[in-house]
Amino acid sequence: MGARIGIIGASHVGAHVADVLLARGIAEEVRLCDLDEKLSRAQANDLVDAASYYQRSARVVDCGTRYEELASCGVIVNAAGHVAASATSRDGELKVTPAEVRTFAHRIAEAGFEGVWVSAANPCDVVAYALWRELDCDPHRIVGSGTALDSARLHHALADATGYDQHVINSWMLGEHGFSEFACWSHVSVGCLALDEVEAQAHLTLDRAAIEQDACKGGYITMAGKLCTEYSISNAVGDIVDAIVRDAKIVTPVSTLVEDVYGVSGIFSSLPCTVGAAGVEQVFVPEFSASEIEGWHRSCAHIKENIGQLDWL
């Protein structure tokens, strides 16, 4: 049995998240909201047209701007954004997208929503922080998609560099979902082998800086061709929602409230987290190398700087 999932923002990411949730049988009902009610209606209709091809029957409900109708959902995905603003700057959405939470967050909370928020809107860490501040709720109920997607991009880059399948590569980007993020090289493994062992025994010499840049900026290859990313982020969000619905307790990098991690507190940033029915159920702190500690501080400083530019937070 699936669950009732709400999605705010029915454009590129939101619509693809809905498709993932239905195609994978995660949701038994999807409720769509968007300020563009014509778009919300169109996406809902298109998804219902596809119902015969999904694994199991499910309902799709067009809620338009009736955000209160999401209050009965177990999970709400925030995909409301202004992707065109990020075409020339990674922080391009900073002055427009975080403010969107003020159009719906209180309305949904006052209607009785007690579930988990999964926020994929950018800048991800700032939007997740804004949701938390607006709602004044348990921060563990707010899960930013964070560097889950960037970690998949690191898998992609390492697979290209090594020739190994992405599924045997365990590698994470941490910190900001943005250009200040960093690869946690000290914890990369291929199968059960540390990366240094793989390089030595497979006679590989990896350009780690170049691979890290590919992971960090790979999304802009996609952006350059179609002005958005869809498939990768929707599947990342799908995994997070699935973990909440099934109480799967996966360990994955998501953006969560940071509390005294290498001296940083009070912001949302990505760390390895257990994700289950309650949202973020545990935050793990890796033993970083000296350079990774510097990367963590640099990345978190950038998030703080971005938050500081919004005088309403």
Stretch 289-297: mean pLDDT: 98
Q: Which DSSP category does 121 fall into?
A: -
Same domain, 153 and 233: yes
Same domain, 234 and 300: yes
Tell me, what CATH number does 166's domain have? 3.90.110.10
Instruction: Check pLDDT > 50 for residue 219.
Output: yes
Tell me, what CATH number does 115's domain have? 3.40.50.720
Same domain, 184 and 138: no
pLDDT digits (tens, 9 = 90+) for 247-272: 999 999 999 999 999 999 999 999 99
pLDDT digits (tens, 9 = 90+) for 100-158: 999 999 999 999 999 999 999 999 999 999 999 999 999 999 999 999 999 999 999 99
Q: How far apart are CA 80 and CA 8, in angstroms?
A: 6
- Which residues lie across from 8 on neighbouring strands? 33, 78
Same domain, 52 and 12: yes
- Tell whether 8 is covered by a domain: yes
Query: Contact at 8 Å (CB) between 139 and 181?
Result: no
Q: What is the pLDDT of residue 191?
A: 97
Binding site as annotated, residues for NAD(+): 9-14, 34
- Tell whether 200 is covered by a domain: yes
- Which residues lie across from 119 on neighbouring strands? 78, 144
Same domain, 126 and 177: no
- Which residues lie across from 142 on neighbouring strands? 117
pLDDT digits (tens, 9 = 90+) for 78-89: 999 888 877 677
Same domain, 138 and 269: no
Stretch 278-300: mean pLDDT: 98
Same domain, 162 and 251: yes
Q: What is the pLDDT of residue 2?
A: 56
* Structure tokens that stand for 307 in this block: 């938050």
Which residues are known to be catalytic?
177
Q: How far apart are CA 184 and CA 295, in angstroms?
A: 9
Stretch 214-228: mean pLDDT: 89
Cis, peptide link before residue 123, omega less than 30° from 0: yes
Same domain, 163 and 296: yes
Q: How far apart are CA 275 and CA 66, in angstroms?
A: 29
Q: What is the pLDDT of residue 55?
A: 86
* Structure tokens that stand for 265 in this block: 């507190």
Sheet architecture: strand order including 193-194: 169-170, 189-190, 193-194
Same domain, 96 and 166: no
Stretch 39-62: mean pLDDT: 96
Q: How far apart are CA 143 and CA 183, in angstroms?
A: 21
Same domain, 127 and 188: no
Instruction: Identify the domain containing residue 41 by its residue range.
Output: 3-144
- Which residues lie across from 253 on neighbouring strands? 272
Same domain, 90 and 232: no
> How many domains does the chain contain in total?
2
Helix (H) or strand (E) holding 18: helix 12-23
- Which residues lie across from 7 on neighbouring strands? 32, 77
- Tell whether 313 is covered by a domain: no
